Structure 1
Amino acid sequence: MAAKETRPQRRTGLGRAEALRLLGSVSLGRVVFTRQALPTVRPVHHVLDGGDVVIRTHEGAALTSHAQPTDNAGVIVAYEADAIDPDTHLGWSVVVTGYARVVTDPDELERVHELLPGAPTESADQVVRIRPELVTGVLLAETGSTETTTG
């Protein structure tokens, strides 16, 4: 089996607006949270809603279980999504770190269920809103390339 040719890459940091734009161009990412004192990663569908990342998951309670009911901020989580070509390793990756809360308001639930891809299922029936505090992203481009990816 022949080895794949690797191309020289450059990494370019993305600003908040561009990172969120790219995040909004895909519907699948990974939420990172703490479960039983260990980091846990789960793939989930998402949408951007008013600058927040909104996900549907069956682990909403596990995600936010260690938050106090009076803690309006929620619990800190990370959310990552990317579009990286498996052959060239070119593309982008965005990480959002912020506070997550289970959505319980019936009107908000109805509205975001219409925005989220797919219908709610028994295995993914809770909605969690992540309010970004820190947004970082990186563009992986070919050295010398000036093109911007569109997701």
Structure 2
Amino acid sequence: MTAVTGPTKAHAATKLPPGDLGRRLTARRAELGLSRREVAARADMATSYLGYLEEHPGAGPGIGALIRLAEALETTVTELTGGVVDLPPGRRRAARAPVFTELAPDECRTLLGTHGVGRLALSTATGPVVVPVNYSVVDEAIVFRTALGTTPSLASGQPVAFEVDRIDDAFSEGWSVLVRGHARTVTDPRERQRFSERAYSAPWAGGTRDVWVRIEPHSVTGRRIAG
């Protein structure tokens, strides 16, 4: 197979879902722990061309190059081109012989990682709700920043559940980690400063969100489904 060395015009006639291909390529490559050279070799294309695709938002590779990149990155063309942004995960059929396993506590903590987006479950005056929040893990506690009066801020002072997961549609597999604990508003200025310094990023929702909430885990459990 001839290596691809530059942009092609084939993509212009191919209707693909919109998306920032370069950012998705870079993110997926980092997720797999692969270098640009390794991915280029897997996809049988020049490393310089992969660099072009990652660094130029307007790059338009042909469908053949997209298919090879998807295979190299163990995903799908639809995922790479942003076609699933507004679709729920897990739309594909289950694997023929799925294997279900319980995760050890250490593996659960590793999967929780240091930051990401999780789902916070709490009780409100109108009933139980589940809301997504940007979180970080600091000193083994889950912390997130919100605004006074918002739904996440109502978690303070009550038992809550917090869940994170990852679904890989391409392989019909994934995992989930569930944390149960007690939430409280952080009032100590030194503790708030430490969270501000160690948090990965500001909340995606934007605006003024200066209320820190900390969840002290009582239990951490997880499950994995593999094909």
Q: TM-score, normalised by structure 2?
A: 0.52
- Structure 2 unmatched ranges of 5 or more: 1-90
| 2:114/2:138 contact within 8 Å kept | no
Normalized per residue, the structure richer in helix is: 2
Give the alignment partner of residue 89 of structure 1, picking from 156, 159, 172. 172
Normalized per residue, the structure richer in strand is: 1
Kindly indicate whether residue 219 of structure 2 is the aligned counterpart of residue 130 of structure 1. no
Instruction: Please name the residue that 1:6 is paired with.
Output: 94
What is the rounded CA distance, in whole Å, between the counterparts of 1:128 and 1:43 in structure 2?
A: 14
Kindly indicate whether residue 187 of structure 2 is the aligned counterpart of residue 104 of structure 1. yes
Larger CA deviation: 55-64 vs 104-113? 55-64
| 1:113/1:119 contact within 8 Å kept | no
What is the rounded CA distance, in whole Å, between the counterparts of 2:111 and 2:121 in structure 1?
A: 19
Deviation of 1:23 after TM superposition, in Å, equals 0.7
Q: TM-score, normalised by structure 1?
A: 0.76
Instruction: Please name the residue that 2:226 is paired with.
Output: 141
What is the rounded CA distance, in whole Å, between the counterparts of 1:116 and 1:26 in structure 2?
A: 8
Deviation of 1:139 after TM superposition, in Å, equals 1.1
* SS across alignment from 1:27: strand
Larger CA deviation: 77-86 vs 20-29? 20-29
**C-alpha RMSD of the superposition:** 2.1
| 1:32/1:39 contact within 8 Å kept | yes
Q: Whose relative contact order is higher, 1 or 2, with alpha carbons under 8 Å and at least 6 apart?
A: 1
Seq. identity, % = 37
| 2:145/2:212 contact within 8 Å kept | yes
* SS across alignment from 1:108: helix
What is the rounded CA distance, in whole Å, between the counterparts of 2:108 and 2:135 in structure 1?
A: 15
Instruction: Please name the residue that 1:24 is paired with.
Output: 113
| 2:92/2:169 contact within 8 Å kept | no
Q: How many residues align?
A: 131
Instruction: Please name the residue that 1:145 is paired with.
Output: none
| 2:93/2:172 contact within 8 Å kept | no
Partner letter of residue 210 of structure 2?
Answer: D
Give the alignment partner of residue 198 of structure 2, picking from 100, 107, 115. 115
Larger radius of gyration: 2
What is the rounded CA distance, in whole Å, between the counterparts of 1:86 and 1:57 in structure 2?
A: 31
| 1:45/1:117 contact within 8 Å kept | no
Distance 1:10 1:61, change over 3 A: same
